[in-house]
Structure formats: C-alpha cells, structure tokens
Amino acid sequence: MLNVSIYRYNPELDSEPYMQDFQVDTQGKDVMVLDVLEKLKTEDPSLTFRRSCREGVCGSDGVNISGKNGLACITPLSDAVKGNKLVIRPLPGLPVIRDLVIDMSQFYAQYEKIQPYMINNNPAPAIERLQSPEERAKLDGLYECILCACCSTACPSFWWNPDKFIGPSGLLQAYRFLADSRDTATEERLANLDDPFSVFRCHGIMNCVQVCPKGLNPTKAIGHIRSMLIRSAT
Amino acid sequence: MVTTVTSLGRSGLSDWMIQRISAWVMTTYLVFIFVYFISNPNLNYAQWAELNSSLPMRMFSLITILSIAAHAWIGMWCVLTDYITVRLIGPKATAIRIFFQLGMIAITLLYVIWAIDILWGI
C-alpha cells in the first residue's frame, strides 16, 4: 500500500489548510500521479484538482509532487515516491482556491503583459508571412510552452514579486515573439522589459529549468532577452 | 514596465551591468592585494604607506570603493524589494521599505565619503 499525503483546504469549511493521509493500493504498478489522484477522488469526491488531457499537453494538472513541481499526468510514481510516501501539494506561491486548485490570475496577468501575439503592422501578403527554415528553427524550445505554471511557481523571485517580475514562463513567451522574424515590435517589446523587475529579477538559479515538464529552458531564453537589451542599449 | 525611483541606475539593464562590472573590479582588487601580500612577506608600515599614497593606487582603491558601494546598493535594494513588501508584511511595508532604502543609501554614501577622506589623508 502506498502512503499518500495530500494538501486539503476548503475555505468554506476549514479554518486553515491541513495534510490528509490516504492509503492507495497501486497493485505494484508504476502508474502516474494523476491515476492516484483519480482513484482517491472516487473514494472522496470532495478532493479537488484540475485535469483535462491526461497526457501532458493541456497543462492543467501542475502540482507540487514530493517537493518538485510537475504535471501529475506524466509523472510516474517511480519518479515521485520517496520511502513509500507520496506528498502532493498545490503549486507554491499563488493563492489556493481549494485543495490542489490555485488562482492563476497573477500568472496570466504577467503573460498578458508581454503581449503574447504577433505584432506586424505591415500590409499582409496575399497568402501568408513566410519564414525560412532557419528563422522557424529559432522558435523551437519556445513555442512548446503549455503555460502549466510549474516553472514560475518554482521561482522565488516570482513568489516575492508576482505582480512585477514577469516570471520564467512569461519571459520564455516574450522571447518567443522577440525571436520571431515575422514580428516587427522588437524595440517596443524590449523597452517594456527594461526595468529592474520584469526581466532582471531573474538571478539565474534555474529552478524553472529543473521543473519544466516539457524540458524547456526559460533561463536560456532570459539570457537571450538580456543580450538583446544589451545590443539595443549600448 | 515597472517604474522605480530608489534603484541605483533606474533601468534594469544598467543595474545589471553595474553589478557585473563592479564584481570584476572588486575581484581584481582582491587578487592584486593578495598577490602583493604574498610577494612582500616582510611588509612594513613604510612600504604599505608608500603603496597607498601613490596616485594610481589611490585611484584603484577609490574605484574599488565606488564598486563596493554600487554593488551593495543594487544588492540591498533587491533584498529590500523582495522581502519588505505589502504582500509579505502588510500595508506598513512601503513606509518601512523606504526607511530602510534611504538608510541604506545614506550609510553607503557616508562610507564612500569616509573612505575618500582616509585615502587622501594618508
């Protein structure tokens, strides 16, 4: 039997959060953490968490699994269980709505700030804006982000200043548009980032890289943004 | 864009560059002093005073002191804006943070002036 400890908090009933212990029979199979949560929900329907695609594409079930942020649906028990114990908490740093569900408004507000869409005021060509294979290759490792928030909620700078520091996820997306050959707003985008908080609160501790379930590297993207700022300002 | 008035360079990029450059200056100074001590095992006061009263050494020391001051200003400003915030300690945080920021700036400037006085008083 696997010992599972889960963060529980229902603001309508509980005065404060607590950890609830469960025992789960996994029949010795190396199932995913989400499978354990689903099994527990059949026993206790009040257990609340987000999930959708169950294959690491939608980014809904980001939780803190035995101390490390990750997607419950693609984290096998063999990676998460320590000493026959599995501890599941909500992603840290953002307000908890209930159990494992967090309020991601602050995270989305930062995403909105970086204008996550193509800006190009040139007249649209007859068919489409073309890119060379090399230009397209620059977007690899950037466009794959699914906005699960595992990285930003693993970042102490984002914990302390979620209203001012864009966070690794938002900055990865910012660079995705800075690197896009079809985008013409590079200077405006850079000007919006050159303050002591938006980009420069990143101290390069690379928690984001360690936890990204898609294997992306926000620290590297932030380094590229910094280089672009240096190029344009010196 | 987040505006700031108590950061050293106002812009994130200039703070970042000052932090890197000042780190190099401090490292160079430390290495120089270390090598000087190693290569002068029987150092006496006269030698030490002669080194520190030469103009190039005074310049080097002054640049290092300015680097320490800038480095400390930026670093302390980061620490204060991380931990003394309304989010973490409530509505009084802004007043407390400004108090500490101005105190930190004042102490830093006093140390710089004092250091110049020492350097040119040798």
Say if the Cβ atoms of A157 and B16 lie within 8 Å.
Answer: no
Structural domains in chain B plus CATH codes: 12-119 (1.20.1300.10)
Q: What confidence score (pLDDT) does residue B54 get?
A: 94
A2-102 is a CATH 3.30.420.40 domain = no
pLDDT of B83 above 80: yes
Residues A89-107 have a mean pLDDT of 97
DSSP state of A172: H
Residue among A197, A126, A210 at smallest CA distance from A163: A197
Residues B72-81 have a mean pLDDT of 95
B6/A contact by beta carbon, under 8 A: no
The distance of A164 to chain B (nearest Cα, Å) reads 7
pLDDT of A174 above 90: yes
Global ipTM: 0.84
How sure is the predictor about A49, in pLDDT bands with cuts at 50, 70 and 90?
A: very high
Provide the number of CB pairs (under 8 Å) joining chain A to chain B.
58
Residues A159-163 have a mean pLDDT of 95
Q: What is the pLDDT of residues A99-134, one digit of tens each?
A: 999 999 999 999 999 999 999 999 999 999 999 999
Q: What is the pLDDT of residues A6-15, one digit of tens each?
A: 999 999 999 9
**Could you tell me whether strands A85-89 and A68-71 are parallel, antiparallel, or unpaired per DSSP bridges?**
unpaired
CA atoms within 13 A on the CB side of B51: 13
Say if the Cβ atoms of A226 and B1 lie within 8 Å.
Answer: no
The distance of A155 to chain B (nearest Cα, Å) reads 12
* The residue type at A190: L
Would you say B116 and B62 are in contact if contact means Cβ atoms under 8 Å apart? yes
Residue among A85, A206, A62, A230 at smallest CA distance from B16: A230
Decide: residue A95, CB within 10 A, 0-12 exposed, 13-18 middle, 19+ buried: exposed
To which CATH superfamily is domain A105-233 assigned?
Alpha-helical ferredoxin (1.10.1060.10)
Q: What is the pLDDT of residues B15-70, one digit of tens each?
A: 999 999 999 999 999 999 999 999 999 999 999 999 999 999 999 999 999 999 99
Residues A15-36 have a mean pLDDT of 95
Rounded to whole angstroms, how far apart are CA atoms B66 and B26? 10
Q: What is the pLDDT of residues B4-14, one digit of tens each?
A: 777 887 788 99
Residues A48-60 have a mean pLDDT of 96
Distances (CA, A) of A79 to A54, A74, A75, A149, A214: 17, 10, 7, 20, 16
Q: Residue ranges per domain, chain A?
A: 2-102, 105-233
Q: What are the residues whose beta carbons fall under 8 Å from the beta carbon of A12, sequence distance 6 or more?
A: none
- CA of B9: which chain A residue's CA is closest? A196
A233/B contact by beta carbon, under 8 A: yes
Q: What confidence score (pLDDT) does residue B46 get?
A: 94
Residue whose tokens read 């050293």: B8
**Whole-number percent of chain A with pLDDT over 90:** 96
Q: What confidence score (pLDDT) does residue B6 get?
A: 79
